[in-house]
Structure formats: C-alpha cells, structure tokens
Amino acid sequence: MTTRRIGDADVYPIGLGCMNLSHAYGPPTPPDEAAKLLNSALDQGCNFLDTATIYGAGENEKLIASSIGERRSEYFLASKCVLAVKDGKRVLDARPEAIKAACDASLQRLNTDVIDLYYMHRPDPNVPIEDSVGALSDLVDAGKIRFIGLSEMGAGLIKRAQAVHPIAALQTEYSLWVRNPEIAVLDLCRELDIAFVAFSPVGRGFLADPPYDPTDMKEGDMRRLFPRFSQEHYPGNLKLLEGARNIANEAGCTVAQLALAWLLAKGDHVIPIPGTTSMSHLKDDIEAGKIELSSALVERLDAHFTPEAAVGPRYARMMQATVDTEQFDFEQGET
C-alpha cells in the first residue's frame, strides 16, 4: 500500500466521507455510534476525513470535534464553504466576506486552529470564481486553511481558479456508475498536479452487494431526488450489477471494494471517499486501499459500465443546473 498526496500531505488511498453520519441519507447516526466509527477509521489507518458546513447544518463538524478532536494530529481534515443552511433553507454564497465568515465558524465548530483542505462546495454564478479563490488565498495567508479545493466544477472554472492560487484538490462524483470526470477534469487534474477526490465512489450504495433498496428509503433520504434511484430507472440499473459480481468474485473482493479499487487504478492522484455508518462496511472500504486490479479487469469494468449503460441522468435537471460538471452529449436534455 502506498499513500496518495494532497498538497504536501500523505493520506491513505481511501478517505472517509463523513456526510451520512449527520445528513442526507436518513436520520443522523447516534453520537456514540458515530464516535466509535470515526475512531475506528483512524485506528485502521484512514487519515483523510471529509466534512462540510452544510452537513447537518454544522452538526457534522461538531461531531468530528467531539468524537476525535483530541486526535487532531492523526488526520487530514477537509471541510467546505459556500453551501450552507440558513433559516432552514439551503443557501449559496461565495462572496469573499461570506467565505471568510464561514471559515471562522467552521474552525469554531471543529475546535481546531486550521483546516487542512477547504473547498468551495459549489460554484456561485453570482460571484466570479477569481474573487472567491482570492478570499480562500487570504485564508491560506492567515494560516486558517492549508490548501484550497473546488467541488463539482468543470475544467474551465478549475483553470480560472488555478490562475489565482494553486488548487490542491478537486472533489466531484466519480464511480463505475458516473464516468463524467473522464470527459475533461480527470486528466486536467493529473496535468496540474491536483488531487482528484471521488465522492459517492460506491454509487450512493448502488455499487454494493446487496445494493441499496430504494423501497427502504427513510424520510429525508436525498436519494429520493436522484433519477437513477427512481422506480422508472432503478430496475434497469440493477442489470449492471450481475457483471460486477462476477468480476468481484474473480478479484476475490466485494462489489464495493471492486468499485473502489477500480477508481484507484484510474490514476495515482485519485482518492475515493466512501461514506458509511456501518463498521463492517468501513473495514471493507479501508481494505480496498490494498487491492490492486489487473489492467485486464479494469478494462472489463470499463467496457461493462460504459457511460451510456447507466439508466437515467445523474442529477435531475434543477440539481444539474447548480453544478459546473461536464456532461456527455447523450445526457443533454435527459430528465
């Protein structure tokens, strides 16, 4: 096992997305259970943790502080600004003054002096990215953050941001089920020495065995909003899993581990950050960092999970409008 780089930091090849401990996929995990999972992740060598202002309206950041704050020196910490919850509503604000205020609030919730990697969570169409990255650069100079990241942005915005200040990481969705980064940003990040952080690398639970069952969706589960989990599209997507199971059996791993190992094979700059509330899934995810797939298996997975094979768009039209990620030609106009 070799580590991967974000800026000048070495991290384990598999990180931990902390979102679903507090947010998005149903009721929050009880704090004592979440604390056990976070401590177990560190005990197993997973030292890259990802949170955000919007996760649980700040509660996820507080959870990290209360659960593993005393182990702060053991992990590389990422959080995000621009997206937040105000008066119960989701807001988008990338003005320099808003970014700086959000950082101060995150530092307080996280009970830390510095955030290792601080992302713009989404592009703000009302604020030039140069202004937003300029504010983040000021935070680097002030010692409040170490590295700047971008999330869900395309090649054009990355280049504009990079011209203001070096970008250390791009985070966007990438998995066997979502191949869009291969259009432009995956190669661009390699060229610019930017770490590529793949969120939802197990397809929001789809690339598991057994896969996530949409009929079990709890109140508040954001997957209700994603077309590929709809009654119309999901049965067609399930057909993709049989081939994945066969390849996973050959590789001697689970389907989720196969999905993570495939991502690791896509470049030394790729770092998946699966999220989980399960101790057994956590162990499997971390063990995937030690799996090396043959080029033949990678090619078979590429051929089986072609971009066109997924049934339904990644996001509904309104959600797609909030990001700047590239789309394949066949996706234009999908609903």
Is the four-CA dihedral 160, 166, 171, 174 of positive or negative sign? positive
- Max intra-chain CA distance, the chain: 53
Cα–Cα distance, 155 to 152 (Å, whole number): 10
Contacts 24+ apart (CB under 8 A), 235-242: 236/311, 236/312, 237/177, 237/206, 237/310, 237/311, 237/312, 238/211, 240/177, 240/304, 240/305, 240/309, 240/310, 241/206, 241/207, 241/209, 241/211
**Residue in 12, 25, 55, 119 annotated catalytic:** 55
Q: Which residue has the tokens 């969706």?
A: 217
Among 270, 271, 285, 258, residue whose Cα is nearest residue 176 = 258
The beta strands (E) that lie in 205-315 are given as: 270-272
Among 194, 177, 183, 187, residue whose Cα is nearest residue 266 = 187
Cα–Cα distance, 51 to 107 (Å, whole number): 12
- Asked if 12 is an active-site residue, the reply is no
Strands 115-120 and 145-151: parallel
Based on C-alpha coordinates, what's the Rg of the chain? 19
3-class DSSP state for residue 230? Answer: coil
Q: Which residues are catalytic?
A: 55
